[in-house]
Amino acid sequence: MEKISKRGLLGKKIPTWNWRKYVIIFWKVLVFLLIPLLLALLLEFIQKWSILTVFDFIKNNAVVFLFSYFITLLLFSSFFVIIGPNLWVWLYLAIFFIFSLINHFKVLILWEPFYPVDIFVNAGSSKELFSFIKPGSEIYLIYSFLFLILIFALHFLVFRKTKISKKIRIILLLLLIPSNYYIFASEDFRVIKLQRLTGLNVEWLSWRQKYNYDNNWFVVWFYTNLGNIFIEKPDNYSKQEIQNILSKSQETTNLWENKVRPDIIFILSEAFWDISKLPNIEFSENPLKNFDNLKKDFSNGSLLSPTYGGKTAMVEYEMLTWNLVKYLPFWSIAYQQYIKKPIPSIVWELKDNWYSTLAIHSYEKSFFNREKTYPLLWFDKFIWQEDMAGAWYKWPFISDKEFTDRIIENLDKKSDKPKFIFSISMENHFPYNWEKFKKNELDIEVTKSNLTEASKQIVTNYAQWIKDADKQLQRLIDHIKASNKPTIVVFFWDHLWALWDSYFTYKETGFVGSDDETKWTKDEFLKMYSTPYLIWDNIWLKKDDKKYIWSSFLWNYILDLANIKKKSKYFNYVSHIYNNCITWNSKKLIMDKNYQMIDNISSLKDDCKNIDKDNYTLQYDILFWENYLGE
């Protein structure tokens, strides 16, 4: 059939409107806008495991949802234009999907979200998270994967033959590059974005990240934390400024009064805590009977920790280096992101005092990047889980008995130098609410409580573990007594034990008034970040109990008790802060030398008012810049 062309009044041909072409374009644009929308919905479904909850959240938080969609669309557009509308865009979808899954299980297990800095965590950490998937989660995982496949299929069917001309690509890039820079990289935007979000009725508390996660869309929460990756350069940073700060210290005069130097053993007992502090609970016996007896004759008190429920490496970092977690991006781990060269540490000071140094950790050497970090902290030798062939495991972790055996074995080795052993146990690691023990393996029980059965199981399991740790502490001390070698044992705990049910068990017993940390009083915060420590010795050290001592100052306290000289200007500066200025300086609370809570550092006496600025400048120099301190 012959095609008839339409003509206008002047007899000229009028081009036929190709409606089919424009329908295809409209369809592609619609799908282009739809894919990021579906992805945003999928990411939030993974967090909540309920599509009804997701839509209810959208109804009540429309602005948050739209902002989340905008970020997802912007990134999708960038991948689409730069890489091309091919299967490589699937990488973008897969990355978001994996991040969302990791976040879900991290919140489930550690009760904290997946932070941008966690991207740098080694693969083993993520694998450990997935190993704790709860029964019943499988069906939701299947739904999520099927939904992701649906998005993949939609993209493939619509865009498999799509090509972008160079001209269109250049135009789109000219629009996308400045948009991405402004949203993701602009320092000005990072500074004001929280204010802008607040203006959009997005509630945000920079010091309550779990609260932010609960009350905002996952994508918005993750995006708003991107700024925490960046490290601000301190004002007036220079070699002269470093020298000015160090000049505030005075060299210690304490010297050894005898030629015998004791071995020093630091034992970081995983999640060790005095469970008797939980009110309204009684046990068939005291799980800490040895620890409590030792406290009567030896120095002890409460250690102030920078973390709750996890991130042992934070405590190590503060304790070994005196660099402070509060000056790093939120929940970042210095071992993983920032320690790339040798830095000052207590190990360094002890080596300068003729000590040999050994680190023992009964877990994988790759965890928290310790195998690469410990040499940079000046340790001579290391013993990891991989070096403990044939060790006895108690559930998934090496037992405290095997752990203590390794300490004793290395203490007994002949050496012409005194020994410093820094050791970290693992038997008491979470989770506590699984059936880790058979009935005949439990020799302690809860005899009185107002707990639910689930909480009672958690408390009973935990009590069994700390009883094991308590028993091994006494065994180590008995061995040292028999050997009669001059020794100091520093036994301490890293953080309160983490629960799968947030803080519910603590609330249920009345230890805190709420399972919502935003409602805690200062005293409740203090309780949740305080852990016990004990210093045993056989060289007649003075008993000097501290009501509270900061994890960063514990080593300074030990060196002073043992009368070991601190030779470097840096650690003499730390001694000045310890002796004259402050007990605790965290993101949450500040405590002066009289154990009184204060609102800010500026309320301290004149020579201490600038310690925040000075400490940050020193830490920046050590980790990120010129290392004037090391010259």
Of 610 and 140, the one with more pLDDT: 610
Q: In sequence order, what are the residues at sequence separation of 6 or more whose Cβ sits closer than 8 angstroms to the Cβ of residue 36?
A: 69, 72, 73, 75, 76
pLDDT at site 16? 57
Average pLDDT score over residue span 371-389: 90
pLDDT at site 440? 55
pLDDT at site 73? 87
Same domain, yes or no, for 195 and 331?
no
HSE-CB for 209 with a 13 A CA cutoff = 22
Average pLDDT score over residue span 575-586: 81
pLDDT at site 290? 95
- Establish if 235 belongs to a structural domain: no
pLDDT at site 26? 79
Same domain, yes or no, for 142 and 205?
yes
E strand or H helix that includes residue 344: none
Whole-number Å distance between alpha carbons of 521 and 518: 9
Same domain, yes or no, for 217 and 263?
no
Q: Which of 430-444, 463-477, 607-621 has the lowest mean pLDDT?
A: 430-444
Same domain, yes or no, for 224 and 262?
no
Average pLDDT score over residue span 200-224: 67
- Establish if 597 belongs to a structural domain: no
Whole-number Å distance between alpha carbons of 451 and 444: 16
Name the band, by pLDDT with cuts 50, 70 and 90, for residue 121. very low
Same domain, yes or no, for 69 and 124?
yes
Q: Which of 174-183, 247-256, 370-379 has the lowest mean pLDDT?
A: 247-256
Out of 531, 565, 599, a domain closes at 565
Average pLDDT score over residue span 300-319: 82
Whole-number Å distance between alpha carbons of 559 and 319: 13
pLDDT at site 127? 53
Q: What is the CATH number of the domain that holds 369?
A: 3.40.720.10
pLDDT at site 355? 93
Distances (CA, A) of 468 to 222, 312, 400: 40, 20, 7
Q: Which of 370-384, 528-542, 597-611 has the lowest mean pLDDT?
A: 597-611
Report the domain count for the chain: 2
Average pLDDT score over residue span 447-464: 82
Q: Which of 20-29, 150-159, 203-212, 498-507 has the lowest mean pLDDT?
A: 203-212
| pLDDT tens digits, 256-277 | 444 668 999 999 988 778 888 8
Of 497 and 30, the one with more pLDDT: 30
- Establish if 468 belongs to a structural domain: yes
Residue 558 has pLDDT above 60, yes or no: yes
Average pLDDT score over residue span 35-40: 87
Residue 585 has pLDDT above 70, yes or no: yes
Each as own residue / partner, the long-range contacts of residues 287-291 (CB below 8 Å, 24 or more positions apart, any chain) are 287/444, 287/463, 287/464, 287/466, 287/467, 287/470, 288/466, 288/467, 288/470, 289/470, 290/470, 290/471, 290/473, 290/474, 291/470, 291/473, 291/491, 291/532, 291/534
Same domain, yes or no, for 404 and 527?
yes
Out of 514, 543, 565, a domain closes at 565
Same domain, yes or no, for 127 and 86?
yes
Percentage of residues in the chain having pLDDT higher than 90: 15
pLDDT at site 383? 92
CB atoms < 10 A from the CB of 181, how many? 11
Whole-number Å distance between alpha carbons of 129 and 269: 22
**DSSP string for residues in 36-65:** HHHHHHHHHHHHHS-HHHHHHHHHH-HHHH
Reduce the DSSP state of residue 334 to 3 states and report it. helix
Whole-number Å distance between alpha carbons of 25 and 194: 37
Provide the whole-model pTM.
Answer: 0.72
- Establish if 306 belongs to a structural domain: yes
| pLDDT tens digits, 129-176 | 555 555 566 777 787 888 888 888 887 777 777 777 778 778 888 888
- Establish if 13 belongs to a structural domain: no
Average pLDDT score over residue span 22-27: 77
pLDDT at site 142? 82
Eight-state DSSP code of residue 610: T
The mean pLDDT value of the chain amounts to 79
pLDDT at site 3? 47
- Establish if 159 belongs to a structural domain: yes
Of 470 and 493, the one with more pLDDT: 470
pLDDT at site 85? 66
Same domain, yes or no, for 370 and 409?
yes
| pLDDT tens digits, 330-349 | 667 788 778 888 999 999 98
Domain boundaries, position 320:
258-273+288-428+460-497+523-565
Same domain, yes or no, for 25 and 80?
yes
Average pLDDT score over residue span 188-197: 52
Same domain, yes or no, for 163 and 305?
no
- Establish if 246 belongs to a structural domain: no
Report the range out of 218-232, 489-503, 571-585 with the highest average pLDDT.
571-585
pLDDT at site 66? 85
pLDDT at site 267? 93
Same domain, yes or no, for 367 and 484?
yes
Out of 565, 583, 598, a domain closes at 565
Average pLDDT score over residue span 602-616: 81
Of 540 and 248, the one with more pLDDT: 540
Same domain, yes or no, for 129 and 195?
yes
Residue 281 has pLDDT above 80, yes or no: yes
Tell me which amino acid residue 389 is.
A
Name the band, by pLDDT with cuts 50, 70 and 90, for residue 210. low
Average pLDDT score over residue span 274-299: 90
Whole-number Å distance between alpha carbons of 328 and 366: 22
- Establish if 531 belongs to a structural domain: yes
